[in-house]
A and B are shown apart, each in its own frame.
Chain A
Amino acid sequence: MNQLGFPILSLITYLPLVGAFLVATLGGDGEKSACMARRIALVFSLIVLALGVFLWTQFNPGIAGYQFVEVMPWLSGISVEYRMGVDGISLFLILLTLALTPIAILASHGIKTRARSFFAAMLLLETMTVGMFAATDFVLFYVFFEAVLLPMYLIIGVWGGEKRVYAAVKFFLFTLAGSLFMLLAVVWVWRNLGTTNMAVIAHANIPPSAQTWLFLAFLAAFGVKAAVWPLHTWLPDAYGEAPVPGTIMLAAVLSKMGAYGFLRFAIPMLPNASAMFEPLMFVLGVVAVIYISYVALAQTDMKRMIAYSSVAHMGVIIIGLFTFTVEGIEGALFQMLSHGIVIAGLFICGGVLTARGQSLTLRNLGGLARNMPVFAAALMLFTLANMGLPGTSGFIGEILVIVGALKVNFWVSLLGGAGMVLGVTYSLVLVRAVLFEKYARPDLTGLKDLTGREYAMLLPLAVLVMWLGVYPSSFTHAFDAPIAALVQAHTAALNPHTAIAMVTAQ
């Protein structure tokens, strides 16, 4: 048992599941039960958020390995255990999930049909996502990784927009096809290494030839989830068609699963293959940054423009991860948090307009700054963070990745940083089309500024954006130990002689 004396991670993971059952078995129909379901879901998500914050206060940032470890026999016949734990890498991804779920639930005000099922699905999604980040056994991870698909698929397919079924099936087929390759990797690891404990397999000596195949399998699985170009085409459809709360969870949290997978498995387990595929990953990252930024510029719909901007940011994260430098990887990890918060803010801003009966076609918007100054300020803040303005969260990840990439190659740094210019272009086009110039249509003049509920969603996100931007040390502090260990192990694996030299030097 862990240092707290009670299984806090499992508690955080399964409490929403209890909530989901409660919501699902709730009797009644119509408006009243929908309201009840929303309240229950909100209360459960807030309780686990409180538990998550408590976890953070108890977390010891000096330790590189897993903390709050829980081990239980599970599939004992095949020597697979139930293992949970967090380290500095997963801690904030869990907290991100916990923080965004209540906000997404608040954003579900407009869900009226089958509301009970919807909130059950949201809580189920929270369980699966947190479980995935907290799992420290490869099989357990795989189960959660796949299980995330289920509620998300339902959320898109049942409560989505016009083309929801197409988008949902596409999302499902893409991610499932990718995951099949990971299943092969799981089987290989289990047969050849004899264990699926992630702390152990991360340092296993895998022959370089096998590493190449495993890396390709991971690339298929995590590449689709992280929407690495050119495996991203499911994303604009899924983001565009999902209901706002679904888009928030998808863009802010689920898109991080892929990058997390690379960081957790591909890089520590497969140092030789990672180094070998480094140029490919840089090319994919740079293409995502530059090419997708251009695609974003051509969009005529607010939601799709934000979706493509999200793909472009994934490029920066991929570049950062594969620099194998402390700066680059911490930058990528920070960018994952920042992007989660910022993109949620942007999609909520879109939701604010949808809730007022507006379509998100850019041509039909404009001039909203006049009647909705607070909304304008919020949209502006998240847009600025999205384009990496210093003082907001977006800058920290961006500059760290630029710095880390420059240690490897000048052009990767320059081209990867090109998002600074291209990101400004589509971001400013977006705010201009929504907020500035004259009203596109007369009925826009009647729109009211933010409501209390919308404040409750946007204000915490705005505070987080500033906090991450002005005092990032409170987060990077926890990254230091695991990332330093990761980078050191990577260098050591590639170059045994330097490893010995480093040990003797210490």
Chain B
Amino acid sequence: MFTLIAVFAPLIGSVLCGVARPVLGRQLAIASSILFMFISAGAAITAYRAGVQPPFAVAHWIQVGAFTPNWTLRQDQLSLVMLVMVSVVSMLIHVYSVGYMAHDETPQRFMSYISLFTFAMLMLVTANNLVQLFFGWEGVGLVSYLLINYWYDRKAANDAAIKAFIVNRVGDLAFAVGIALAYFTFGSVNFDVIFAGVTAHVGQSYALFGTHFPVLEVISFLLFIGAMGKSAQIVLHTWLADAMEGPTPISALIHAATMVAAGVFMIVRMSPLINAAPEAMGFITVIGGSTAFFAATIGCVQNDIKRVIAYSTCSQLGYMFLAAGVGAYPVAMFHLINHAMFKALLFLSAGSVIHAMSDEQDIRLMGGLGLKLPFTCAMMLIGSLALIAIPPFSGYYSKDAVLESALAAHTAAGTYGWVCGTAAAGLTAFYTSRLFFLVFTGKSRAPKHVQDHVHESPLVMLVPLLVLAVGSFSSGFVLKPYFIGAQFQNFWGNSIAVAANSGMLSMESITGLAKMAPLLLGIFGILVAVLFYLLVPSIPGRLAQGMAPVYRFLLNKWYFDEIYDALLVRPSLRLAKFAWRNDDQVIDGVPNGLAALTSDASTQAVKLQTGSIALYAFIMLIGLLVFVSLFIWVK
């Protein structure tokens, strides 16, 4: 019951805020969205405290043959944990947005969208079948599109929004076909039926590309391709950095804490199925590890404060998939929750900086803000330490667990993931410190009029920061015993299936240098950043010149966008023009040509006046009568 309230309260808030503004007025409309968000968060916590319960049936949805996904709220431990995280983080960001969007023209539209987003995200995490999960999945994608495009008169925002939707839909197509194949295999799309049927279908094969594959592998691959789109993994990652065109609270809520983690959540949710697909798991591990490393390298050279954090998000999502790929699902969830806290904190702090800097986002034009924005600086520091994974901040506990699980899996993919992830840990420390130093230390490089304007944000923005900072500091050691400690089986119950050969179970076997490597590399990364940006600031410039090809390669994000543009986007547009010409002249040309040959009807017809139309109609009527008579006459 409380789950129901938690899920649907944001929807009510969204509708009230979006539709009832003419009646309520702007202030009351915004207040109603905040109020319903508080109700949602309160209900979510109550539902969590009430503990695991059977699924709550809301209504029928589709009922065709055995295809019966219904509106049902799942209330197992995994759903409840996500329910609390999403509603609480969303509530904080709602509050923050009141301050951040105060100078906007249509703040009620913004609030309505993020409430709608929260509803869709909660539907996703409480789904009891694949199709409802897909509903939430597409719903959050839609609101993400609307919010990236929030300032819709900007060309860049339009480009980014359309790109995000299309790239996501590529993944979603695979997801939808995966749902269909799951239904074909298990005869149902409900989670419990699917999970119960896994063992019975282990040996079953499915013909594809002229050979046979285990059907469970095919389903897992298809679902994971969907997850790659939503969670911006390498190949389908290009939309995430561009999505930073949206307002900053959105970057925090959607493109860091919740929506982009949906792919990880989905893989964890499907863990009983994924466990039965070792090849797919290897693939997930490799993609996760590669993304962690690849995105971190790009993060090192970006100059837009939000893009640096965006690539960091991409990289951290890679860590989560790395954990999921070696079967350490609770570790993936642990990192997901910690990441939600500290990444929301980092983005909101960045928002506070941008707010203070009159909407400037280029870190080369910042500097020396530490004294002017002491509170924001402190918050950013906490978030950065959590991201770099310095003990006792939260990132330390989960990132180390991810890497240890990967190494302990003793598979080629796992070891590859460990190497990538450990290297990425050093890079993470470097780019995070670089960002911090460039923004908060040294002399200000901003124009005079911007400098004069710098001011600390209002209280309504700072309080959510404080709450998230407390979370970022403590979520690691507070949650560790439950999420991945000895008690983890009790905590997660049967909501997550950890296979017996999962790397997670032998995590303790990793000791010595292998265990210390990520932390040591992290400290090394910080020291390099200290050297580059505090002690000898001329090094980065010289390095960029000396290694120009590498620098350009990273600055241009490994040229993914350029390659896609040349291989996919432009050929598609050309193909469209060609298809149209073909349709207009060749296919349509046949009947038109025939008509011209026989009676020159098409040219004659154009000459006809409306008056003769009636005559034609009359002839048609006669014709119809002739046909009927002919029919009778044939007898």
Residues of A at the B interface (CB closer than 8 Å) are 75, 77-78, 139, 143, 146-147, 149-150, 153-154, 157-158, 163, 165-166, 168-170, 172-174, 176, 183, 186-187, 190-191, 230, 233, 291-292, 294-295, 297-299, 325-327, 330-331, 367, 369-370, 384, 389-391, 395-396, 399-400, 402-403, 405-407, 410, 413-414, 417-418, 420-421, 424-425, 428-429, 432, 435-438, 470-473, 476-477, 479-480
Contacts and interface: CB of A to CB of B under 8 A. Distances in A.
Interface in B592-607: 595, 601-602, 605-606
B165 A146 contact: no
A424 B166 contact: yes
Instruction: Label chain B's interface by main secondary structure.
Output: helix
Interface stretch (B274-282, B422-430, B608-616): B608-616
- A-B pairs, top 8 by smallest CB distance, nearest first, are A298-B580, A406-B180, A233-B588, A390-B135, A169-B605, A298-B576, A436-B152, A297-B576
A390 B139 contact: yes
A369 B579 contact: no
B559 interface: no
A150 B580 CA distance: 30
Report which residue of A187, A403, A407 has the largest number of chain B beta carbons within 10 angstroms of its beta carbon: A403
Interface stretch (B87-95, B167-175, B294-302, B548-556): B167-175
B579 A298 contact: yes
Interface of B: 59-65, 67, 131, 134-135, 138-139, 142, 145, 149, 152-155, 158, 161-162, 165-166, 169-170, 172-173, 176-177, 179-181, 183-184, 206, 208, 572-573, 575-577, 579-580, 583, 587-588, 591, 595, 601-602, 605-606, 608, 610, 613-614, 616-617, 620-621, 623-624, 627-628, 630-632, 634-635
A197 to B, nearest CB: 16
Nearest to A435: B152
A436 B59 contact: no
A294 B624 contact: no
Nearest to A406: B180
B177 A154 contact: no
B620 A369 contact: no
Contacts of B627: 146, 183
A165 B606 contact: yes
A143 B576 CA distance: 40
A291 B579 contact: yes
B632 A403 contact: no
B165 A173 contact: no
B613 A157 contact: yes
B632 A77 contact: yes
A401 B605 CA distance: 41
Nearest to B607: A165
A472 B628 CA distance: 41
B202 to A, nearest CB: 20
Given A292-B583, A298-B576, 7 more contacts: A154-B614, A169-B601, A326-B65, A399-B134, A424-B169, A437-B152, A479-B64
A154 B613 contact: yes
Contact of A187 (B139, B183, B631): B631
30 contacts: A78-B635, A143-B624, A153-B616, A154-B613, A157-B610, A158-B610, A158-B613, A168-B613, A170-B605, A173-B601, A176-B623, A186-B631, A233-B591, A298-B580, A299-B580, A327-B67, A367-B153, A369-B152, A370-B153, A390-B131, A391-B138, A391-B139, A406-B177, A424-B166, A425-B162, A425-B166, A435-B152, A436-B149, A473-B63, A476-B64
B121 to A, nearest CB: 14
Contacts of B62: 396, 399-400, 472-473, 476
A437 B153 contact: yes
B67 to A, nearest CB: 5
A479 B62 CA distance: 12
Nearest to A384: B142
B173 A418 contact: yes
Nearest to A423: B169
Contacts of B635: 77-78
Contact of B138 (A77, A299, A390, A435): A390
Contacts of B60: 471, 473
A157 B609 CA distance: 9
Contacts of A165: 605-606, 608, 610, 613
B358 to A, nearest CB: 23
A327 B139 CA distance: 24
A269 B399 CA distance: 64
A248 B179 CA distance: 34
Give the one of A405, A424, A437 with max B CB within 10 A: A424
A294 B61 contact: no
Contacts of B184: 403, 406-407
B165 A428 contact: yes
A121 B577 CA distance: 38
Nearest to A186: B631
B139 A233 contact: no
A127 B396 CA distance: 73
Given A295-B576, A399-B176, A432 B632 contact: no
Contacts of A295: 576, 579-580, 583
A230 B620 contact: no
B176 A417 contact: yes
Q: Which of A183, A291, A298, A396 has the most CB of B within 10 A?
A: A298
B320 to A, nearest CB: 25
Nearest to B589: A233
A77 B628 CA distance: 14
Contacts of B177: 402, 406, 410, 413-414, 417
Contacts of A472: 61-62
B78 to A, nearest CB: 22
A139 B180 CA distance: 40
Contacts of B634: 187, 191
B61 to A, nearest CB: 7
B228 to A, nearest CB: 15
Contact of A143 (B572, B595, B628, B630): B628
Contacts of B67: 327, 400, 403
Contacts of B65: 325-327, 330
A432 B158 contact: yes
B583 A154 contact: no
Q: Output the residue of A165, A299, A413 with the most chain B CB within 10 A.
A: A165
Given A150-B620, A186-B631, A191-B634, A399 B152 contact: no
A417 B613 CA distance: 42
A227 B635 CA distance: 33
Contacts of B154: 437
Given A295-B583, A403-B67, A406-B184, A166 B153 contact: no
Contacts of B608: 165, 169
Nearest to A75: B632
Nearest to B623: A176
B176 A420 contact: yes
A421 B166 contact: yes
A143 B625 CA distance: 9
A76 B385 CA distance: 91
A331 B170 CA distance: 22
B115 to A, nearest CB: 15
Contacts of A400: 62, 64, 67
Contacts of A438: 153
Contacts of A153: 616-617, 620
Contacts of B158: 432, 436-437
Nearest to B154: A437
B64 A327 contact: yes
Contact of A146 (B59, B152, B601, B624): B624
A369 B161 CA distance: 16
Contacts of A429: 162
B169 A174 contact: no
B165 to A, nearest CB: 6
Contacts of B587: 230, 233
A414 B398 CA distance: 38
A385 to B, nearest CB: 12
A273 B338 CA distance: 60
A390 to B, nearest CB: 4
